[in-house]
Amino acid sequence: MWDSISNFVRKIAGDIEQTSRKNKLHIEGIRIAFSAPNPKNPPTEETLTKDKETFAEANFQWVKFQVKFTVEPDMEKYYVYSTPLNPEGTSKSPDIVFNSDSKWGGNNTVPSNDYTTGDIIRAFPRLLKGPNLKDTEKFSETVYVNTDKSDKAHVYSSQEFKKLFDNDFYIVLNPRIKELHNPFGKVIGIKNPRE
């Protein structure tokens, strides 16, 4: 009986510790990397895929999702949760939490000793299970970074990104489905409609 009570108390203590630890995390910013032709001067001949129907050639892919956060009471200590993305925006392995600075610097190959990826996903499940690319707009510090050579390292605010990429020109690379989507999930066509 003592054994089961002590296990119960230990479980409750662990839950309280996890809750208090979770409440101390503060998101400082979100950075989402993607690859797409420069919206101000898009090259017409370069695409990520070649399709029988030119309109179906993909020219956009998601690359990486990162969240920078601090922990109370030491708000000067930064961490970054980073996960690579599949072209259509779902996360893939390996994700990592690494020690950072206020400018997103740090060694992204050395995991933090303070937090695991599981800690961060549990702290922000709505945002990170996926990750949820659409739920980032409420964070004022969300930026989108283009990795394409035509627009290398250009940083867009959420508003700029929506204005420039929420249209029928950009098609997200997703070979598993027949529908063509733009980066905001809007259906803009069907691949090979004659098949």
| 54-104 residue pLDDT tens | 445 788 999 999 999 988 766 678 999 999 999 998 889 899 999 998 888
pLDDT at site 20:
38
Low-confidence spans in the chain with pLDDT less than 70 = 1-23, 42-56, 73-75, 132, 135-140, 192-195
Question: What pTM does this model have?
Answer: 0.77
pLDDT at site 58:
80
5 contacts 13 by C-beta, under 8 angstroms: no
pLDDT at site 4:
40
CA separation for the pair 85, 92 (Å, rounded): 6
Q: Which two tokens stand for residue 6?
A: 């002590």
